[in-house]
Amino acid sequence: MTALATSLPREDARSRVNATLGMVFFVGSWSMAFGTLFLSFLILRNRAGTWPPPGLDLPSFPLALAATVVLMASSVALHASVARGRQGQAGFGALWALGLGLGLVFSALQTWLWYDLLNRGATPGASMYESLFFGLTWIHAAHVACALLSLVWMAVGISTGRYGQHRISTVTNAAIFWHFMDAVWVMMFLGFFLF
């Protein structure tokens, strides 16, 4: 434990409950927002008849699958990190850094997915499929950027000793937000690529 960690007060049960409750409301509100977007997506998709519409240059399935696997691995690493942080075990910071690194790889793969599609002539307004794909993935990317900033902030706090077994709620909540972004991406992946 670092000198900073020993000088900081331990978070009490009330602080943990308040932090958790705040995250429940935060994720709940964004669940409603993304739920509305998915409902709109499903309604428009249902009206299209054939999905995806024939003759379109579709996004790369292997690239999207790789991004999905990397994102899920990132969530697993962050979950393991939080579990170690709660117990005060070694590897807390290393697993968090791994989860953050995988999150950055996911962002690079998502950018590559857009670049590949745009490079093949697709544009956000060319068809309903492309409008939905670019629109939903861009909204998701904006939230991923915010989540990545929180992961970086937590990584700095973990490395300086600000966060650890004595103060874990903030780290847990950052991981929960990342897991939420993971779940949203999986829903988009299923909607655009598998069903």
Q: Could you tell me the CATH number of the domain that includes residue 190?
A: 1.20.120.80
| Mean pLDDT computed over 164-190 | 94
> pLDDT for 108-148, tens place per residue?
999 999 999 999 888 888 888 899 999 999 999 999 999 99
Q: Can you tell me the distance from the alpha carbon of 147 to that of 156, in angstroms, rounded to the nearest whole number?
A: 14
Range of the domain at 105: 11-45+60-194
Count: domains in the chain: 1
| Mean pLDDT computed over 167-175 | 93
In a domain, 28, yes or no: yes
In a domain, 82, yes or no: yes
CA angle 192, 42, 76 (to 5 degrees): 50
In a domain, 3, yes or no: no
> pLDDT for 42-65, tens place per residue?
898 888 878 888 888 889 999 999
- Angle, helices 169-189 vs 128-160, to 10°: value is 160
In a domain, 50, yes or no: no
In a domain, 2, yes or no: no
**pTM to 2 decimal places:** 0.88
